Amino acid sequence: MKVVKFGGSSLANGPQVAKAVEIMRADPRRRVMVVSAPGKRFGGDAKVTDLLGELAAAILAGLDTASLLGQILGRYRSIADYFDLAGETIADHFRTHLRTLQESDYPNSEYLLAAFLAQGEWMNAHLIAAVLQHEGLPARWVSPQDLGMVVAGPPRLAQLLPDSYDRLANFSLPADEILVVPGFFAYDAQGHIATFARGGSDITGSILARGLHADLYENFTDVSAIYAADPQIIAHPRAINTLTYREMRELSCAGFSVFNDEAIVPAIQGDVRINVKNTNDPEAPGTLIAPTKEVNHHHLITGIAASNGHIALYIHRYLLNREVRFPLQILQVLAKYHVSYEQMPAGVDDLTIIFSQKQVIPAVQTAMTREIRAAVQPDVLRWIPNLAMVVVVGEGLAHRTDLVAQILTQLATVEIAPVIISQGAARINLTMGVDTTQAAAAIQALYALSAEDYNNAQ
Ligand SMILES: Nc1ncnc2c1ncn2[C@@H]1O[C@H](COP(=O)(O)OP(=O)(O)O)[C@@H](O)[C@H]1O
Ligand SMILES: N[C@@H](CC(=O)OP(=O)(O)O)C(=O)O
């Protein structure tokens, strides 16, 4: 049995939905279909989820919502009309549903926002179940609740409660129907809607693949493979045939937005392989994400990613390494302000802590600076803003002694000297902090190095 997820780009309009229907028809093992909300149809278009966020903000501000509602419902009406379903009636039904949602009670505005963001998937799953039936494929809409998924945590950063897997294991899949499940959200124990992180339909797919013991999790998107570098930075990058789970985890955390970084975890726990494939080219093999792969000793760099929007805190204090309580005191300040760190390379007398800039808003930055100064009296405390983290990933990185030297030499040829360099004992990645303005040049230089490595191996 396969769990199949279609991303927003694969369901953006009628013709794209028609391709998804044919993909489901082509393989009877495709029994569970997880859908995202309609995504962008062309550059500059809006994703339905973003429009729903604007709608929620307008409701909270007491503004007129007619135009936004019209845009959102119009997206579903046009998909329905493409299949000669009653688009007007479906849109009216969704309008009533959104009105009921608006009139419901929420613990606070974050819950209202989450509830509205989730409706892109809620409406799309209803519509696509109707489309499948109309196209002769028996299908049924199923809510995450019916499957036993229960979440907890912040309403827009929900986490699945582990006992959901017991309920999923007891769910009996119908033999003759495709289940259409909305991605991205579930309900908490109080019955409130909560969403996963953005891009979270990938997470729903992975949870269901693990919980329902799928043989394969197929993730359909708009590219024919995961490439060795972001195709928006490198023209026609090399496709990756196989990635290991931990390579994918490193790359998705570091900027490969093609697969949500949290979504790999349930697949690892359930030992389910993931096949990323193209809705526009479903016969292409795509990229397989598997527990292990054979390391080609000539082709050691698997992928290169970069993500902007980081800030680092540099702390220098003599004997930092001797005083066991100093690191703890620093981490306690982070915990107090609910700030998690991404990396923390350390020296004998200093510590650098890398954060996502989004978490360190100015008020938090000022408060943390004050409290860390009071706690450890550093000799130097300095923030390094506008950082991009460039990450070179490969299971083979540990296999050749000169590779790290080559990577840094290659960056030097384009006059980039990273302000931070970090490599853990797993030696599967090398992370370098550079100024945001240098990120694209770093990727280009490192991709050229990896391509040379790859070509030499052919
Ligand atoms: N290394 C990479 N390989 C493939 N695609 C990538 C990579 N890095 C970033 N992307 C981007 O990820 C996009 C697909 O992800 P996304 O837009 O979230 O798809 P979906 O709508 O299917 O969820 C691609 O169109 C591409 O621009
Ligand atoms: N629609 C949600 C969830 C999602 O996974 O979307 P997509 O498959 O288009 O990345 C979002 O935009 O975040």
Q: Which atom of ligand 1 is nearest to the CA of 220?
A: 22
- Going by CA atoms, what residue is nearest to atom 6 of ligand 2? 199
Residue 148 beta carbon below 6 angstroms from any ligand 2 atom: no
Q: Which residues contact 63 (CB under 8 A, 6 or more apart)?
A: none
Output the six-digit token pair for 319: 């004997």
Evaluated on CA atoms 105, 127, 137, 84, the torsion sign reads positive
- Going by CA atoms, what residue is nearest to atom 8 of ligand 2? 7
Q: How far is the CA of 258 from the centre of ligand 1 (A)?
A: 3
Q: What residues does ligand 1 touch, defined as CB less than 6 Å away?
A: 7-10, 36, 39, 199, 221-223, 226-227, 229-232, 256-258
Residue 47 beta carbon below 6 angstroms from any ligand 2 atom: yes
Q: How far is the CA of 29 from the centre of ligand 1 (A)?
A: 25
pTM of this prediction? 0.92
Q: How far is the CA of 223 from the centre of ligand 1 (A)?
A: 7
List the beta bridge partners of residue 356: 310
Provide Rg for the chain, Cα atoms. 24
74, 123 Cβ separation under 8 angstroms = no
* pLDDT tens, N- to C-terminus, the chain (458 residues): 999 999 999 999 999 999 999 999 999 999 999 999 999 999 999 999 999 999 999 999 999 999 999 999 999 999 999 999 998 999 999 999 999 999 999 999 999 999 999 999 999 999 999 999 999 999 999 999 999 999 999 999 999 999 999 999 999 999 889 999 999 999 999 999 999 999 999 999 999 999 999 999 999 999 999 999 999 999 999 999 999 999 999 999 988 989 999 999 999 999 999 999 999 999 999 999 999 887 766 668 899 999 999 999 999 998 887 888 888 999 999 999 999 999 898 888 999 999 999 999 999 999 999 999 999 999 999 999 999 999 999 988 888 788 889 999 999 999 999 999 988 787 889 999 999 999 999 999 999 998 876 666 65
ipTM of this predicted structure: 0.97
Task: Please name the amino acid found at residue 152.
Answer: A
Domains in the chain, CATH or no CATH each: 2-214+258-262 (3.40.1160.10), 303-457 (3.30.2130.10)
- Going by CA atoms, what residue is nearest to atom 9 of ligand 2? 8
pLDDT recorded at residue 401: 81
Q: How far is CA 78 from the centre of its chain?
A: 28
Task: Please name the amino acid found at residue 74.
Answer: G
For strand 303-316 and strand 350-356, is the pairing parallel, antiparallel, or unpaired? antiparallel
Q: Which residues contact 191 (CB under 8 A, 6 or more apart)?
A: none
pLDDT recorded at residue 14: 98
- Going by CA atoms, what residue is nearest to atom 11 of ligand 1? 258
Instruction: Determine the 3-state secondary structure of 35 from DSSP.
Output: strand
- Going by CA atoms, what residue is nearest to atom 23 of ligand 1? 7
Crossing angle, helix 362-376 and helix 325-336, to 10 degrees? Answer: 150
Q: Considering every ligand atom shown, identify the ligand nearest to the alpha carbon of residue 219 and give its number.
A: 1
163, 150 Cβ separation under 8 angstroms = yes
Q: How far is the CA of 6 from the centre of ligand 1 (A)?
A: 12
Crossing angle, helix 109-134 and helix 66-82, to 10 degrees? Answer: 20
For strand 216-221 and strand 273-278, is the pairing parallel, antiparallel, or unpaired? parallel
List the beta bridge partners of residue 140: 179
For residue 408, give the nearest of 442, 368, 360, 371 by alpha carbon. 442
DSSP state of 395: G
Q: How far is the CA of 37 from the centre of ligand 2 (A)?
A: 6
pLDDT recorded at residue 298: 60
Q: Which atom of ligand 1 is nearest to the CA of 303?
A: 1
Q: Which atom of ligand 2 is nearest to the CA of 198?
A: 13
Q: How far is the CA of 276 from the centre of ligand 2 (A)?
A: 15
Burial degree of 286 (CB within 10 A; 0-12, 13-18, 19+): buried
pLDDT recorded at residue 403: 85
pLDDT recorded at residue 295: 73
For residue 104, give the nearest of 182, 187, 184, 181 by alpha carbon. 187
Mutate which of 5, 257, 259 for ligand 1? The one with the most ligand atoms within 8 Å of its CB, which is 257
Backbone angles phi, psi at 202, to 5 degrees: -60, -35
Q: How far is the CA of 222 from the centre of ligand 2 (A)?
A: 13
